Every structure is written in C-alpha cells, then in structure tokens.
Amino acid sequence: MTWGQGRSGSERRKVGGSHTGQGPQFHRRSDDKIHEEIWELLTNNADLDASEIELHVEGGEVTLTGTVDSRDAKWLTEDLVNSVTGVREVNNRLKVAR
C-alpha cells in the first residue's frame, strides 16, 4: 500500500485501497482499445493458436468467430476476452475444428 498527499499537502491518505480499478462513473473504454488489448492477449498466449479467430467489438460487446483446435482453446479465448477492462459481454461463436 502506498500513501499520497491530500489537497492541503499536509494530510496523508491511503492510495491503492479497496477502490483500486474503479474508474469515473460514466467513462467507457473505446472499442479500439478493447480490440487492441484482446488481440495482444490472444496473440501472446502460448497455449492458443489465434490465427483463425475473428474479433468484432461494438459498445464493449465482443463477438468471436472462426475456428480453434479444441474446446479448451475455445473456453481459454473466452476467459482471456472476459479479463479485459471494458468488455461488457462476450458472444463466443468459435467452432472447434474437427
């Protein structure tokens, strides 16, 4: 836990308490930023071949289409997408290649 100065400069307050990660009330992360972070996660995951995955983001809703090589890869992809800040819903339409 870290400590920061208050407005008066002399008072001290905790930084990083239970409110960490809570942003301004009506702020929404842009679809472009969400899309970019998802692609980085999928591309850099050693357990996932994302070469046949298509990704669409609109209003924080993510739709995944394409194919993966196993059920585990399908659910791993969904879990990775759900971990991204700003994702409101995931439509996992990935098919498992036979």
Asked if residue 12 lies in contact with residue 4, where contact means CB atoms within 8 angstroms, the answer is yes
In eight-state DSSP terms, residue 88 is -
Q: Please give the model's pTM, rounded to 2 decimal places.
A: 0.73
Q: How many Cα atoms are found within 13 Å in the side-chain-facing hemisphere of 94?
A: 28
Q: Measured between alpha carbons, how far is 37 from 64 in angstroms, rounded to an integer?
A: 14
Q: Measured between alpha carbons, how far is 77 from 67 in angstroms, rounded to an integer?
A: 11
Q: Does the pLDDT at position 3 exceed 70?
A: no
Top-level class of domain 22-96: alpha beta
State residue 89's pLDDT score: 97
pLDDT digits over 19-76, tens only?
Answer: 666 666 666 889 999 999 999 999 999 999 999 999 999 999 999 999 999 999 999 9
Confidence class of residue 6 from pLDDT cuts 50, 70 and 90? low
Confidence class of residue 9 from pLDDT cuts 50, 70 and 90? low
